[in-house]
Structures are given as structure tokens and as C-alpha cells.
Amino acid sequence: MTALVLATFSARYQHVAFGLRYLQANLGALQADSALLEFDLQKAPAEAAADILAHGPRLVGLGAYIWNVPQTAALLAELRRAAPGLVLVLGGPEVSFETETHPLTPLADFVICGEADLAFAALCRAVLSGAPPREKILRAPPPAPAQLALPYSLYSDKDLATRFTYLEASRGCPFGCEYCVSAIERGVRRFPTEQILPEFARLLARGMRRIKFVDRTFNLDAGFGREILEFFYAHAHASTSEPDTQPPVAATCGRRRRSQTAATEEALQVHLEIAPACLTPAWRELLRRAPPGLLHLEVGVQTFDEQLNARIGRQQTAAAAEDALRFLRTETGAQIHADLIAGLPGQTLEVFAADFDRMVRLQPHELQVGILKRLRGTAIARHDAEWAVRWNPEPPYDLVANRLLSAATVERLKRFARYWELLGNRGRFEHTLPLLWSRTDDSPFSRIWKLSDHLFSRFGKTHSIPLFDLAHALSAYLVAGLGLDQARVATALRADLARSGALHLPNWTHTP
């Protein structure tokens, strides 16, 4: 039996519950009397409740996130029915803002808003000693990183072998992007490198290979960043010194080949989120020296339109963003993941199309298209009246329509984003997809926009489409829809499908 259970529903198995590990690491003497349970979204809440109750806890802490609100609500209800005296505590970004009106709040005994690393431990001690606080909603002040016990010893060997390993070097963000929760509380707090680097070294010795830093903007301080990156440069696996020769899909975006060697699959990979505006000469020199393939850089461009950037509080010029992407793509060995947002206040479909076309020409390895969301507590809602914005009231709180984009257009944008993910971001069609815009005056957005309508009319869905079915539909569209030479299309598709590992290719990929 354990006094405390920490639990959450993760979006995928590969995503470890980093926040819960911080809570457990900072429980002090109570850590030995605690258990941490992680479920994925396929886990039935009733089964999750049974797993929790099997530990016989007196208090349960649940992590609430945008992706697990329905599951968390159902789990709270199951726990309340089965164990009425159990103390239920909620925390996490989903309940840290607009907490009083959140539908999860009435289901819990306590809700901790903000970074609960130390506040959760204090609440547990108070509840278990019989002196719980009178307030239901508790607001935790941001802790100084040096005060915190680090959670890295709580990663199991299985975690390190099969999942992403989350690390952090800093908390907070100095920027004011109105769609982002990180902009609500400004300021950056850094972990002392003498505190975190020995922990990272121990994880590497245990086999850590797939790393994701959760820092909002890693490239704020070149001196601080240099010390951390030099550490990983020194520990980079020999296989990361081999250049990644994969061209971007469609001469644009594509992940690493599925046919990588086992050695490459085991190579050290470090994911960082960087801001184009902070790519100083010192940072450029540092990134040039990274072993090829070691770094996976997420570059949040969101839009090249400077009027839109000014409207939503982003400190970014189009020239700086384009220059940063061109530098990263041509002068470093990093994998580049770039982001665009559709549905920003005042953004027409034509403006987004121009952003997409411009990004495609810059050839990041991955291009993620996201639909604007109104995350709880963010300032983006201040534009609602001016632009007649309507939001989905349920997670993920995404855009339904506004004055410039009808509900039907937004739905088409969502399908566009999903089909682009299937076609352009999985390394599947790097030879075939460029045929869509083989002429210099072709618009990649226009071609994918029309193709996505065609695919939806054919499949009626944007998920669970077998690879060969998707490839056949793409082939038919290129030949019958655009009038391209069948032999040329078949040759490209054979090359792409062969890389997928298929042993036998369908007859339609062969031409007389």
C-alpha cells in the first residue's frame, strides 16, 4: 500500500510524464510512500481507476493536459464513486488558468495552479497530517530551479530504451506571443549547469539516446547554451558523424528514411526549440559545429507576415525568419522542423497560402501546420470581437471560424494539415510529391489544397489510410487529374514505396 499515487494519461506511450516525475522527486520523505502510474489514451478510465485503487492510496494527484481532459474527468468520477474518502488533487497546465470555470475543478478536492514541484509536496504533508488547507484552488509561485530535486533518476531503463527522454535547462519565456501559455508569466529561470550536466551524463551512461529539451526557447543565451551543447557534442555517438543524405520530401519536408541502419537508429538525437530572432552569430558558429544528425531543431516561424506578427505580439521579421531557416538548412547538419499556424487574427487564406509556399521553398525537413487554438489564459481571445472569432469550447479549443475564414474553410484547412502530415512529413513520397509543383509557377499550397479535397472525397477520412491506398490515390491524381506522364509517376512511386520496406509492389506501379 502507498499513501500517494501520481497518475496521468499521456498522449502516446513514447511521451513520459515528466511533470509527475518532478513531483515525485520533490516529495522528500514521502517519496518512498508514493507510486507513479502512466496511462495512454487507449486506457479505459475505469481500468485506470482500478490500477490506482489497487495501491490503496489516501491521496491521488492527477496531471491534466489539453489532450486528456475527457479521460481525466471520467477517472475523477470513477475514483469518487469507488473511494469517496480519497483526496483528489489536480494540477498541470490545463487547470492552471481560468481554473474557477474549468469543468474539471468541481471534480477535485484541490487544484494546484502553476509549477507544483514544491507546492504538491507541501499539500501532501498537510493532508496526511490532518491539517489540509481551507482553500481549494492553490496558486504555486514559480520555484527557483536550484531549489528543486531533479527527476532524472526516476527514468527507468525501459523509459530510456523505448521513449523520449525529456530534459530541461531552463523554465519560462521572455516573449509575449498571445497564443502561447508560456507568455502569461514572463521571465526565464535557468538550472545551474553544475546541477544538471552530471545528471545528463548518468542518463547517457544508462543508454539515453532520444532527447527532447522542453525549454521554450533554447537559444536565448549563447554562453549558457554553448556549455550544454558542447557537453552533448562530446558525447555524440559515432554514428551521428555520418551526414544525413536524405533530401527533404518534395524538395521540401521529410523525416529520416525508414531504412536507416540500426546504428543510425541508435545514434544520439537532441531536440531543441529555437527562435529565429535569437540566432546570433555566436549561435550560428555553435550550430555549424554540431555533428551531423545530432540536433533536431524546432523553429517556430508561425507566419512570415509582419503585420500578423505585430498583432499577436511576436518579435520576428520575415527576413530574419527566412535567413535563419536558410542558414540552418544549408550550413548545419541539423534536422529542421518548422511550424506554421493557420487562423491567426486577420490572416486570410491567401496570406496563409503565401506563408506555406514560402516555407516549402525553404526546404525544412518537416513542416507542421497547426490550427490556431485559444488555450486557457492566453491573450489571443482579445481579438475575438474584432474578427468575429468562434472557438471550439472543448479541447483542443481550436478555431471554428472567424470573419475571414468560414467554418467550411477551417474544416478544409484541418484536412489540408492532416493530409500534408501524411504526404509531406513522413518521408514517404520524397520523389513523388515534387511532381505536384514541378513547374516554377506552381503553388505548393494550391496543389496540396486541391489534392486534399480529392483525397477526402475518395476516403472520407484523414486517418487510418493504408500506405498503398494513399499512394494509389496520389498516382491517379497526378496522372488523371494533372495529366502527368504515367511512367514518370510510376518510377517516382516505386522509389518511394521501395524505401518503405515493402517486399512486393502493386501491379499499378509498373508501366508497360
42 contact partners, CB below 8 Å, separation of at least 6: none
* pLDDT score of 343 more than 80: yes
Give every CB contact of residue 371 below 8 A, 6+ residues apart in sequence.
341, 342, 343, 398, 399, 410, 413, 414, 417
Mean pLDDT of 193-208: 97
pTM listed for this prediction: 0.91
Place of cell 481500468: 47
Q: Which residues have C-beta within 8 Å of that of residue 245, sequence separation ≥ 6?
A: none
103 within 8 A of 72, measured Cβ to Cβ: no
Measured distance CA(417)–CA(370) in Å, rounded: 7
**Is 60 exceeded by the pLDDT of residue 44?**
yes
Judge whether residue 255 has pLDDT over 50. Answer: no
Which pLDDT score, from 0 to 100, does residue 260 have? 37
pLDDT at residue 245 is higher than 50: no
397 and 373 Cβ atoms separated by less than 8 Å: yes
Per-residue pLDDT tens digits for 138-185:
999 999 999 999 999 999 999 999 999 999 999 999 999 999 999 998
Query: Which CATH entry fits the domain spanning 155-427: 3.30.70.2610, 3.40.50.980, 3.80.30.20, 3.40.50.2000?
Result: 3.80.30.20
Residue pair 492/436 in contact (Cβ under 8 Å)? The answer is no
Res 511: pLDDT: 63
- C-alpha 467/C-alpha 473 separation (Å) is 10
Res. 356: pLDDT tops 50: yes
Mean pLDDT across 182-190:
91
DSSP 293: T
The whole-angstrom separation of Cα 228 and Cα 289 is 14
Amino acid 211: pLDDT: 98
Q: Provide CATH 3.40.50.2300 ranges for the chain.
A: 4-143
Average pLDDT over residues 126-131: 97
Q: DSSP letters along 219-234, please? A: GG-HHHHHHHHHHHHH
pLDDT digits (tens, 9 = 90+) for 101-121: 999 999 999 999 999 999 999
Backbone angles phi, psi at 41, to 5 degrees: -70, -10
- Name the average pLDDT for the chain: 92
Report the percentage of the chain scoring pLDDT > 70: 94
Task: Assess whether pLDDT exceeds 80 at residue 22.
Answer: yes
Query: Residues 77-97: pLDDT tens digits?
Result: 999 999 999 999 999 999 999
User: Is 50 exceeded by the pLDDT of residue 467?
Assistant: yes
- In this prediction, residue 241 carries a pLDDT of 44
Least confident of 59-73, 233-247, 404-418, 443-457: 233-247
Given a contact cutoff of 8 angstroms between Cβ atoms, the answer to whether 275 and 219 are in contact is yes
DSSP element (H, E) containing 84: none
Top pLDDT among 227 and 243 is at 227
User: In the chain, what's the furthest Cα-to-Cα distance?
Assistant: 82
Residue 251 pLDDT level (bands cut at 50, 70, 90)? very low
SS3 of residue 342 by DSSP:
strand
Q: What is the pLDDT of residue 242?
A: 46
pLDDT for the residue numbered 512: 54
Output the CATH code of domain 4-143. 3.40.50.2300
Residue ranges of the chain assigned to CATH 3.80.30.20 = 155-427
Compute CA 479 distance to the chain's CA centroid, rounded to the nearest angstrom: 36
What is the crossing angle of helices 349-362 and 407-424, to 10°?
Answer: 10
Which among 189, 186, 409, 211 has a CA at the least distance from the CA of 296? 211
Which residue from 105, 88, 103, 9 is spatially nearest to 48, judged by alpha carbons?
9
Q: What percentage of residues in the chain have a pLDDT greater than 90?
A: 87
Q: Which residues pair with 142 in a beta bridge?
A: none
Please return the burial class of 500, using the count of CB atoms within 10 Å of its CB with bins 0-12, 13-18 and 19+.
Answer: middle
Q: Tell me the mean pLDDT in the region 212-221.
A: 96
Q: Poorest-confidence range of 21-25, 235-239, 252-256, 301-305?
A: 252-256
- Burial class of residue 472 (count of CB atoms within 10 Å of its CB; 0-12, 13-18, 19+): middle
